[in-house]
Structure 1
């Protein structure tokens, strides 16, 4: 079992390309069903006053949560929020 803090320090990696996507910034949780809906990762560095675009990866695209990485199928994930 992992805590949210443990998940936030894990690097997210795309299994299709092996590319490092980044680190989790936030998590969407369905409080009625008690489950994680998606992971939110920053897409780029933002300025002090600019809005940061987020990449949303549905939990269904998470393939494996390892000791220090999270493997996702980001090939079919589209989604700037």
Structure 2
């Protein structure tokens, strides 16, 4: 079983582009089923928003290809 703390240490990588997308900052959970529906990645914009505002990328849990030891591969 994976914990949120353990998931947050793994870098998210796109299998389509090879791009490093960032790290999990939050999860969305279906309160009725208790299952994770989405992972949320926080990444700093390269444009330097005011006060370094974080942009969020939401990836459906179904787009996760594999949970590796150091990375999470997503479509």
TM-score normalised by structure 1 residue count? 0.78
Give the aligned partner of residue 30 of structure 1.
30
User: How far, CA to CA, are the matches of 2:73 and 2:20 in structure 1?
Assistant: 10
Query: Root-mean-square deviation (CA), in Å?
Result: 1.6
- 1:12-53 CA distances to partner (integer Å, 9 max, x unpaired)? 0000111111111111111211110101112324543x6532
Give the aligned partner of residue 72 of structure 1.
74
Q: Is residue 4 from structure 1 mapped to residue 15 from structure 2 by the alignment? A: no
Give the aligned partner of residue 21 of structure 1.
21
Q: Is residue 53 from structure 1 mapped to residue 55 from structure 2 by the alignment? A: yes
Paired residues, number: 72
After TM superposition, where is structure 1 displaced by more than 4 Å over at least 4 residues in a row? none
